[in-house]
Amino acid sequence: MNFWKEWADGCVEMIFPSRCSCCRLGLPRKGQVICSDCLSTIHYLQSPLCSCCGRGLPDSSGGDHLCGFCLRQPPVYARARAVVRYEEPVSHLLHLLKYAADSSTLPALAHVIEPFAYDLAQEFRPAVDRIIPVPLFPRRLKKRGLNQSLLLARIFFPQAGAALLVDAMIRTRDTPPQTTLDGAARRKNLRAAFAVRYPDAVYGRRIFLVDDVLTTGTTVSECAKTLLAAGAVEVYVVTVARVSEYD
């Protein structure tokens, strides 16, 4: 049986060879999803980082510490961490997932996230922690066909089980896309745009809030305010990427 399966798999591979999810060139190994050239261009965010917002710091001598932004105006969330800079090829994969509902990008994104997710698992305690993806307004969810934050949350926390709260927080208004707005308009756009449907699910819990990209932090800050007001004790923001111009 194994012989015929391997033979069939080999035939499929010859007719439909595996291709890199980023550049679409052929891959030398079965099971590989990103070529080595594309992997080498991905900029992982590593120390020194701001110990609160995760912003990259220019001086490596002092290690991780609070950045000037967080010293002047501490965020409402306890900590934020992103895996990589929001640059090609990861930005392309996230764009396809978010706007084209292309879930075929998920194996490649999982490959990018995997090292970070392993470390994150050491901090996650299912008995006390809860995971919440940033929600979409129902009309936008229907139009897109998926919530990318929910799919990414499952990659970040594959062991979550019932701790992943799919609909504990909702979006109450169909706000314009944040990408079209500046900082002040972003904050006004999202004010009171979220609500917690099940306060008992978040009360007294540490929440891991998952989104795809951290840009100005307006969306996750508004979500964090909503969760803290509902009784969460701490909000930890987790994203795949962070826009580099804010580093």
235's enclosing H/E stretch is strand 234-242
- pLDDT value at position 247? 44
155: confidence class by pLDDT, cuts 50, 70, 90: very high
Answer whether the bond into residue 89 is a cis peptide, omega within 30°: yes
At 30, give phi and psi (nearest 5°). -65, 135
Place of tokens 């007719």: 15
150: confidence class by pLDDT, cuts 50, 70, 90: very high
d(C-alpha 9, C-alpha 30), whole Å: 10
At 176, give phi and psi (nearest 5°). -60, 155
Beta bridge partners of 169: 196
229's enclosing H/E stretch is helix 218-229
d(C-alpha 112, C-alpha 167), whole Å: 26
Place of tokens 């099940």: 198
Residue 133 has pLDDT above 90, yes or no: yes
- pLDDT value at position 32? 87
10: confidence class by pLDDT, cuts 50, 70, 90: very low
- pLDDT value at position 180? 58
Domain ranges of the chain: 41-246
At 62, give phi and psi (nearest 5°). -95, 0
Residue 188 has pLDDT above 80, yes or no: no
Q: What is the mean pLDDT of residues 226-235?
A: 98
CATH class of 41-246: alpha beta
d(C-alpha 83, C-alpha 86), whole Å: 9
| 29-33, 70-74, 135-139, 144-148: range with lowest mean pLDDT | 29-33
7: confidence class by pLDDT, cuts 50, 70, 90: very low
- pLDDT value at position 44? 95
pTM, whole model, 2 decimals?
A: 0.87
Measure Cα distances from 200 to 2, 129, 220 in Å.
Answer: 50, 13, 21
Residue 137 has pLDDT above 70, yes or no: yes
Q: How many helices (H) and strands (E) does the chain have?
A: 10, 6
CB atoms within 10 A of CB 56: 18
Q: What is the mean pLDDT of residues 192-213?
A: 95
d(C-alpha 162, C-alpha 154), whole Å: 11
- pLDDT value at position 189? 61
Cβ neighbours of residue 205 closer than 8 Å, sequence gap 6 or more: 128, 129, 130, 232, 233
